[in-house]
Amino acid sequence: MSVVSEPVAGVSGSDGSGVRWQGLKVALATFFVVACWGFSPTGIRIGLQGYDPGHLALLRFIIASVFMAIIASSLRISLPRLKDLPLLGVLGFFAVSLHHIALNFGQAGVTAGASSVLIQSMPLFTALLAHFVFKERVSAWRWTCVAWGLVGVAIVITGDRGFGHIDVRGLLVLLAAFSWSVYFSLQKRYSHRYDGLTMVCYTVWAGTFFLLIYLPGLMGEIVNAPLRVNIAVGVLGFFPSALAYLAWAYVLKHMDVSRASMSLYLTPPMAIAIASVLLGEMPSAMVIVGSLVVLSSVLALNLRRERVTPVPVLQANR
């Protein structure tokens, strides 16, 4: 993993100590992001033991919204333009509301490891949107990668609970991946209007606003949920939904985007390892095979893209 060698103020570059220290900080931040987003599927599975999917999504993002508000007030982010409010609403709907409702309902029937793998199929849907919606030219190489990745997706869905035992809720996890790809495609085209932190804050707040339809009954579930479940939901709100985004912004500031995105392919193995420890879930052989197919297709897609136009990668399942 290569780190962009930028001068560090006040540190002599003759011995390279400043660069090495910068590299260590970036590596630690990257590991933190992978660990946070690797925990997310397990946290959701634990949260569903005390909350219904809608209440879980709302409580998680109320926590994230409050944290983002504290950060935004301390950094004094800019107010949105009135003409951009509909756009921010759409971004929030796809990135937070639809994505997490579909993900939570889907994970009720899909293992944490399989869910993490299916979410990584997001770039495949982004390529399809680029061709069919945004009328971009998609090369034969990208079509091959998409086809190969969809084969892996089919393997994961059909083999998660044992060959032939298909749970249609796996399709809801794919809907979550598709929803994130819509967000990513739109965000990529309008990101020049605001800096990354500002865009994330307003996206999270807008998505949380739409989730308020699940407010009735939330307090009762908070009171009745076991302590272990409430701790897991709190961790989901603070770490994968808030702190990880700040760490990821730091990584992208100090590392080439295409190289940084490659580190996120460690997220499914991390998710599988965490689920095996905290939930006792071990992936089936079919999920392992399917994950290799999906990740290889997405990796090939991004490697080819790196030669053309590197694009920032923001992850889902957070």
- Are the C-beta atoms of residues 294 and 121 closer than 8 Å to each other? yes
The predicted pLDDT at position 160 comes to 83
Residue 72 covered by a domain: yes
The closest alpha carbon to 262, from 271, 251, 273, 253, belongs to 251
Instruction: Pick left, alpha or beta for residue 202 (phi over 0 → left; psi -120 to 50 → alpha; otherwise beta).
Output: alpha
The predicted pLDDT at position 80 comes to 92
Task: Name the more confident of 265 and 258.
Answer: 265
Q: What residues contact residue 11 under an 8 Å CB cut-off, 6+ apart?
A: 17, 18, 21
Distance CA 220, CA 71 (A): 29
Question: Is 70 exceeded by the pLDDT of residue 12?
Answer: no
Question: Is 50 exceeded by the pLDDT of residue 256?
Answer: yes
**Where residue 258 falls among pLDDT bands split at 50, 70, 90?**
low
The predicted pLDDT at position 23 comes to 81
CA quadruple 93, 99, 100, 105: dihedral positive or negative?
Answer: positive
Residue 12 covered by a domain: no
Residue 315 covered by a domain: no
Residue 28 covered by a domain: yes
Q: Determine the structural domain holding residue 28 and report its residue range.
A: 19-306
Residue 235 covered by a domain: yes
Residue 313 covered by a domain: no
**Tokens found for residue 142:** 């990208």
**Stretch 216-229: mean pLDDT:** 97
Distance CA 80, CA 160 (A): 43
The predicted pLDDT at position 144 comes to 92
The closest alpha carbon to 33, from 209, 218, 262, 291, belongs to 262
The closest alpha carbon to 118, from 183, 45, 170, belongs to 170
**Where residue 16 falls among pLDDT bands split at 50, 70, 90?**
low
Helix (H, G, I), strand (E, B) or coil at 225: coil
Domain count, the chain: 1
The predicted pLDDT at position 165 comes to 65
**Stretch 191-199: mean pLDDT:** 83
Q: What is the pLDDT of residues 32-63, one digit of tens each?
A: 999 999 999 999 999 999 999 999 999 999 99
The predicted pLDDT at position 87 comes to 93
Q: Mean pLDDT lowest for which of 21-35, 154-168, 179-193, 296-310? A: 296-310
Q: What is the pLDDT of residues 260-318, one digit of tens each?
A: 777 878 889 999 999 999 999 988 888 999 999 999 998 888 776 544 444 444 444 45
Q: What residues contact residue 32 under an 8 Å CB cut-off, 6+ apart?
A: 243, 244, 247
Distance CA 275, CA 204 (A): 26
**Stretch 171-194: mean pLDDT:** 87
Distance CA 170, CA 143 (A): 23
The predicted pLDDT at position 37 comes to 92
Residue 312 covered by a domain: no
The mean pLDDT of the chain is: 85
**Where residue 191 falls among pLDDT bands split at 50, 70, 90?**
confident
- Are the C-beta atoms of residues 295 and 119 closer than 8 Å to each other? no
Helix (H, G, I), strand (E, B) or coil at 126: helix
Distance CA 59, CA 96 (A): 12
**Stretch 197-208: mean pLDDT:** 92
In total, the chain counts a number of residues equal to 318
**Tokens found for residue 266:** 């460690």
Question: Is 60 exceeded by the pLDDT of residue 201?
Answer: yes
* pTM for this predicted structure: 0.84
Question: Is 70 exceeded by the pLDDT of residue 163?
Answer: no
Q: What is the pLDDT of residues 108-143, one digit of tens each?
A: 889 999 999 998 888 888 888 888 888 888 788 889
- Are the C-beta atoms of residues 138 and 126 closer than 8 Å to each other? no
**Stretch 95-105: mean pLDDT:** 95
User: How far apart, in Å, are the Cα atoms of 39 and each of 23, 32, 108, 193, 201?
Assistant: 24, 11, 16, 32, 22
Of all residues in the chain, what percent carry a pLDDT higher than 90?
A: 51
The predicted pLDDT at position 133 comes to 83
Residue 271 covered by a domain: yes
